[in-house]
């Protein structure tokens, strides 16, 4: 697979807009470890290789374990995620897969029980942001930065 184009060079204002959105998310006060799980899970659902590689490295650098990252795709069956993480992951999946039923009341109630109104608003914005980054990377076939040899 070959990259198509670099949208950030082609439209620098687009990058500046996304970067401003991400800066807001980064400053929102939610736990960095939680944010990395959210970014990684949304990227897995969307199939964004570039973002999966980047957020796996970022999560590991912030102390996340390989075991938890390996189990992220089966978080509902794994006891190693906290209730707050579970609520965030359920909310992430619902917003990322928005065409499959929007955000069910049960998912919203689960998230609302773990997050204040401000936190939940910031969590939604973080999910919007990672889905935007995913879609830009997927649309233009941005290749993951890895140490693995390219075949």
Residue 9 lies in a domain: no
Kindly report, residue by residue over 7-41, the tens digit of the pLDDT: 999 999 999 999 999 999 999 999 999 999 999 99
The reported pLDDT for the residue numbered 145 is 79
149 located within any domain: no
Q: What local confidence, expressed as pLDDT, does residue 2 receive?
A: 87
Within a domain: 83:
yes
11 within domain boundaries? no
What are the b/e assignments for 10-46, b being 16+ CB within 10 Å? eeeeeeeebeebbeebeeeebeeebbbbbbbbbbbeb
pLDDT at 143 (0 to 100): 87
Q: How high is the pLDDT of residue 70?
A: 96
Residue 61 falls inside a structural domain: yes
**What pLDDT score does 147 carry?**
59
Residue 144 lies in a domain: no
Segments forming the whole domain that contains residue 39: 30-139
At residue 18, φ and ψ (nearest 5 deg) are: -65, -40
DSSP characters over the chain: ------HHHH-HHHHHHHHHHHHHHHTS---HHHHHHHHHHHHHHHT-HHHHHHHHHHHHHTT--HHHHHHGGGGGG-TTS-HHHHHHHHHHHHHHTGGGTSS-HHHHHHHHHHS-HHHHHHHHHHHHHHHHHHHHHHHTTPPP--SSPP-
pTM value?
0.93
CATH number at residue 67: 1.20.1290.10
Per-residue pLDDT at 74: 97
Residue 145 located in a structural domain: no
In this structure, is residue 22 part of a structural domain? Answer: no
Q: How sure is the predictor about 90, in pLDDT bands with cuts at 50, 70 and 90?
A: very high
Q: Write out pLDDT tens, residues 98-131.
A: 999 899 999 999 999 999 999 999 999 999 999 9
């Amino acid at each position: 697979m070959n990259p198509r184009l670099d949208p950030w060079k082609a439209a620098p204002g687009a990058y500046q807009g996304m970067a401003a959105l991400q800066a807001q998310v980064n400053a929102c006060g939610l736990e960095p470890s939680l944010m990395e799980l959210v970014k990684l899970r949304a990227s897995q659902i969307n199939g964004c290789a570039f973002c999966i590689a980047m957020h796996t490295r970022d999560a590991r650098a912030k102390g996340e374990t390989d075991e938890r990252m390996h189990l992220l795709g089966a978080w509902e069956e794994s006891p190693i995620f906290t209730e707050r993480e579970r609520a965030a992951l359920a909310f992430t999946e619902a917003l990322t897969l928005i065409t499959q039923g929007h955000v069910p009341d049960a998912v919203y109630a689960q998230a609302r029980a773990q997050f204040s109104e401000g936190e939940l608003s910031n969590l939604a914005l973080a999910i919007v942001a990672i889905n935007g980054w995913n879609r830009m990377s997927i649309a233009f076939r941005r290749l993951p930065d890895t140490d693995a040899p390219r075949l």
